[in-house]
Structure 1
Amino acid sequence: MMQFTESAAASPFSGSESPPAGLLLNLNGGPNSHAGDWPWPHYPASGKTSLGRYNSGAFMEQLLLHCAYAIEANDATLAQQILWVLHNIAPPDGDPNQRLTAAFVRALILRASRSGSPCGSLASTVAAQDAPLCLPAVALAGFVDLTPWHRFGFTAANAAIADATDSFPVIHIVDLTTTYSMQIPTLIDSLACRPDGPRFIRLTVISPSPANSPPPTLETSFDDLGSRLVNFARSRNVGMEFRQVPASPSDGLDALVRHLRVQQLVAVGEALVINCHMMLHYIPEETVGNSTFSQRITFLKALRALEPTLVVVVDEDANFTSGDVVGRIRAAFNYLWIPFEAVDSFLPKDSQQRHRYESAIRWKIENLIAMEGIQRVERLETRGRWVQKMRRLGFRGVGFGEEAAAEVKGVLEEHSAGWGMKKDEERLVLTWKGHDAVFASAWVPS
């Protein structure tokens, strides 16, 4: 997180108690300003003590955008001036808007440092990065259960999978997830409780390179993870085979596609379920070689060719695809306030759980703002764009039944007030205080 101190050695502003000379001129459209399509936000001249009424998300967002313009223009002086203001109104241990803003400030300075910009000298003011978030299985389960951000999708997907595979003796689940198959135990439980007896599950996961993998990571190995899941299934009288494929979203999961094509040749009476839980947006959008399709589209086309029984797509409902860093800041600032505010509603500031959760969000912000090219893996798309993609590639949406909706609502009741659910045609949408957060959709070949 961004941390300035009052010492001259640590701060680019030498611990001054008032804005550097020229700040008010620049912030109000002076000769050194970089005005966008809106006027510079007015900054009070009376110093730090009068900033309370300027502690609004809109004010902080405008300052971040102007700071990004200054950094992109290599105007280190103006960037420092704006950062002075942000430092005073957005401490990293403040309210949700302040913590969110502090995370963006850090990301902008890291971007300047990586680009070789003169503003990169500010990197010395940034605290060391959070230690990689690596958790044992039990702690990871607690991380996932902290909010319904993941559990919403787990519950909706499991209901859709159970409905689609009711008549199949064998279910092959390809679990493309960032949560290390934390969804699967509840699915096993639901299958084990069926009156027609246990089923056999083939579970295929990918074991991507840890480079650019979002936190948290799992402390245990994939082999150990597989053993635990197989033993859990056995305890529920459900047979299971666990298989990992060394594939990565960065190459369009090409190795996984090849593996599934081979498996399809020998699969008889088997339901193929592709469970995509917040991973598809890590597949690059760029085209490769002479292809006219992006890697993301190529992967979806390959899935359609496999004639799967069901494809589930659960993802965060935002658009982080802009090639312009300012556009990404706008989109992310107006979306990622949700998890900051949600955990603030029920966890104290000194909570280790909250620190872990927010460090994962900070990673997303830093990847989104500070990275470019293949290193920038946070490329979310809205549910509307996913719907267009799936329909264009030959999939038809499948609605969630009343029983599935009731199960999701039951999960939300276990969490703090503010979470809700709505239906958007065939999709279910997780909301926070009426704002869309995560969507769940189910698809079959049309």
Structure 2
Amino acid sequence: MGFEQHCAPDGDSNQRLTCGFLRALIARATKTGSCKMLTAMANANADLMIQTHKYSITELASFIDLTPWHRFGFSAANAAILEAIEGFSIVHIVDLSSTHCMQIPTLIDAIANRPEGPPFIKLTVAGATADIPPMLDHSYEELGSKLVNFARSRNVVLEFRVVPSSSADGFSSLIEQLRVQQIVFADGGEGEALVINCHMMLHNTSEETLNVIINMPNNDMSPNPYSSMPSSSSSSTSSASHRTMFLKALRSLDPTIVVLVDEDADFTSSDLVCRLRSAFNFLWIPYDAVEAFLRQGKQRQWYEADICWKIENVISQEGVQRVERLEPKCRWVQRMRNANFRSVSFSEDAVSEVKGMLDEHAAGWGLKREEEDLVLTWKGHNVVFATLWVPA
């Protein structure tokens, strides 16, 4: 019996969802040999490989505009950032985003219209090496050049910097660079707003507990970027995850504001059945949502290939290869509090911005407030959360 008879990759949303999970199970079986029937199916079907698309900048911008999945976080974050940087003449934005700075042009537009005039903007991005969808068919140097030119067209001076750093080590190189820049800039005696914008990328960092050195000897030429600040010549070992270390390192930089936006689901279980259930109970949403507005065509193929990649990573990969490790909002909130941040509320202007954006999309999308946080919903189900944090 052929693969297509088990589920329809071009059927309704439920069939397409089932197809994605069957592909993932087959991929896992071929690696482990744990199921002879699935392995035989894989051998009989050579077209099971997921063909993800590499987007041009124009394609990616257009693709993101299709749904509020990313635009929700963009709208909420940009409104909050604009308020947080009021009065600063220099703003350093660290953009840890899975969408390759697609949020930045709308932020530049908003900053350009600031009553007191635009600040000088320093934009730092992590040049992640992992091929995690959506993927961009441009180098970060090309992307930076386009952003600098766009900012210039809005009379905004933008400095673009790429730091080779990835989620694999908790962005340790990025933290080290930020700390060096902060020390150098402090000598100038001017104030600078430091904005950390985390958009659906932190969940790619490992959440397993590691034994790490917290303090390094003063004579060590390569201090641990995760140490708070060199304070003694003693060293100690502590247990922490890359996520915990990263957030604590961020806190030591005393940022003006941290924006954390991510998908509200839990893919962290070490048990495959639990992960499969969690993924199925969440990833029906993008399939169902796309059914409402996007029929057959290239954009739908690209959209669903990216979802299939996520499903396969959750189901068929283990260890460092399994990077889709979503955590629910409640757990991120606790992580931020443990790192000595406190949450702040989105303003009514920010809420209005988000509501206005949602009005541009199909019925079914909604917005709800949970204490200080905002949550994007689809037919009442939580999809993406947005939170704001300042040093406690």
Q: 2:196 aligns with which of 270, 274, 283?
A: 274
| Residue equivalent to 1:285 | 207
| Residue equivalent to 1:370 | 316
Q: How far apart are the structure 2 equivalents of 1:334 and 1:117?
A: 24
Residues 1:192 and 1:321: Cα distance change in structure 2 (over 3 Å): same
| Residue equivalent to 1:113 | 30
SS of the residue 1:333 aligns to = helix
Please say if 1:425 is aligned against 2:371: yes
Question: 2:351 corresponds to which letter in structure 1?
Answer: A
Please say if 1:241 is aligned against 2:187: no
Indicate if the aligned counterparts of 2:259 and 2:386 stay in contact, CA closer than 8 A. Answer: yes
| Residue equivalent to 1:11 | none
1:216-274, CA deviations, whole angstroms, 9 ceiling, x for partnerless residues?
21111111100110111111111110000000101111100100110111233110111
Question: 1:123 corresponds to which letter in structure 2?
Answer: A
| 368-377 vs 201-210, which moves further | 201-210
Query: How far 1:432 moved relative to its partner?
Result: 0.4
| Residue equivalent to 1:91 | 8
> Runs of 5+ in structure 2 lacking a partner?
213-237
Residues 1:413 and 1:331: Cα distance change in structure 2 (over 3 Å): same
Q: How far apart are the structure 1 equivalents of 2:35 and 2:146?
A: 51
Please say if 1:442 is aligned against 2:361: no
| Residue equivalent to 1:197 | 117
Residues 1:3 and 1:263: Cα distance change in structure 2 (over 3 Å): farther
Q: 2:289 aligns with which of 323, 327, 342?
A: 342
Indicate if the aligned counterparts of 2:261 and 2:387 stay in contact, CA closer than 8 A. Answer: yes
SS of the residue 1:335 aligns to = helix
Query: How far 1:381 moved relative to its partner?
Result: 0.4
Q: 1:147 aligns with which of 58, 67, 78?
A: 67
Q: 1:306 aligns with which of 253, 261, 273?
A: 253
Q: How far apart are the structure 1 equivalents of 2:22 and 2:254?
A: 46
- Give the number of the structure whose alpha-carbon radius of gyration is greater: 1
| Residue equivalent to 2:215 | none
Indicate if the aligned counterparts of 1:3 and 1:92 stay in contact, CA closer than 8 A. Answer: no
> Runs of 5+ in structure 1 lacking a partner?
6-86
Query: How far 1:404 moved relative to its partner?
Result: 0.6
Q: How far apart are the structure 2 equivalents of 1:202 and 1:383?
A: 29
Q: 1:410 aligns with which of 345, 356, 380?
A: 356
TM superposition score normalised by structure 1:
0.79
Q: How far apart are the structure 1 equivalents of 2:171 and 2:87?
A: 29
Q: 1:20-59 counterparts in 2 under 5 A? A: none
Residues 1:125 and 1:442: Cα distance change in structure 2 (over 3 Å): farther
Please say if 1:326 is aligned against 2:243: no
Query: How far 1:168 moved relative to its partner?
Result: 0.8
Q: How far apart are the structure 2 equivalents of 1:257 and 1:220?
A: 25
Q: How far apart are the structure 2 equivalents of 1:305 and 1:280?
A: 18
Q: How far apart are the structure 1 equivalents of 2:200 and 2:132?
A: 11
Query: How far 1:3 moved relative to its partner?
Result: 6.0
Q: How far apart are the structure 1 equivalents of 2:144 and 2:313?
A: 30
1:38-91, CA deviations, whole angstroms, 9 ceiling, x for partnerless residues?
xxxxxxxxxxxxxxxxxxxxxxxxxxxxxxxxxxxxxxxxxxxxxxxxx44x31
SS of the residue 2:195 aligns to = strand
| Residue equivalent to 1:34 | none
Query: How far 1:335 moved relative to its partner?
Result: 0.6
1:401-443, CA deviations, whole angstroms, 9 ceiling, x for partnerless residues?
1111011011111111110100001100000011100000010
Indicate if the aligned counterparts of 2:52 and 2:306 stay in contact, CA closer than 8 A. Answer: no
1:333-390, CA deviations, whole angstroms, 9 ceiling, x for partnerless residues?
1111111010100111x22111111110000000000000000000000001111111
Indicate if the aligned counterparts of 2:126 and 2:162 stay in contact, CA closer than 8 A. Answer: yes
1:12-48, CA deviations, whole angstroms, 9 ceiling, x for partnerless residues?
xxxxxxxxxxxxxxxxxxxxxxxxxxxxxxxxxxxxx
TM superposition score normalised by structure 2:
0.89
Query: How far 1:194 moved relative to its partner?
Result: 1.2
Indicate if the aligned counterparts of 1:276 and 1:311 stay in contact, CA closer than 8 A. Answer: yes
SS of the residue 2:240 aligns to = coil
Question: 1:100 corresponds to which letter in structure 2?
Answer: L
Indicate if the aligned counterparts of 1:310 and 1:444 stay in contact, CA closer than 8 A. Answer: yes
Runs of 4+, deviation exceeding 4 Å? none
| Residue equivalent to 2:242 | 295
Q: How far apart are the structure 1 equivalents of 2:169 and 2:184?
A: 26
Question: 1:4 corresponds to which letter in structure 2?
Answer: F
Residues 1:159 and 1:3: Cα distance change in structure 2 (over 3 Å): farther
| Residue equivalent to 1:222 | 140
Query: How far 1:94 moved relative to its partner?
Result: 1.3
Question: 1:157 corresponds to which letter in structure 2?
Answer: A
1:134-157, CA deviations, whole angstroms, 9 ceiling, x for partnerless residues?
011000111111100000000000
Query: How far 1:131 moved relative to its partner?
Result: 2.4
Q: How far apart are the structure 2 equivalents of 1:299 and 1:379?
A: 16
Q: How far apart are the structure 1 equivalents of 2:167 and 2:14?
A: 32
Query: How many residues of Structure 1 are paired with residues of Structure 2 in the alignment?
Result: 360
Please say if 1:156 is aligned against 2:102: no
| Residue equivalent to 1:75 | none
Indicate if the aligned counterparts of 1:428 and 1:439 stay in contact, CA closer than 8 A. Answer: yes
Indicate if the aligned counterparts of 2:2 and 2:41 stay in contact, CA closer than 8 A. Answer: no
Indicate if the aligned counterparts of 2:52 and 2:305 stay in contact, CA closer than 8 A. Answer: no
Query: How far 1:208 moved relative to its partner?
Result: 1.2
Q: How far apart are the structure 1 equivalents of 2:18 and 2:361?
A: 26
Q: How far apart are the structure 2 equivalents of 1:392 and 1:221?
A: 36
Q: 2:180 aligns with which of 262, 265, 268?
A: 262
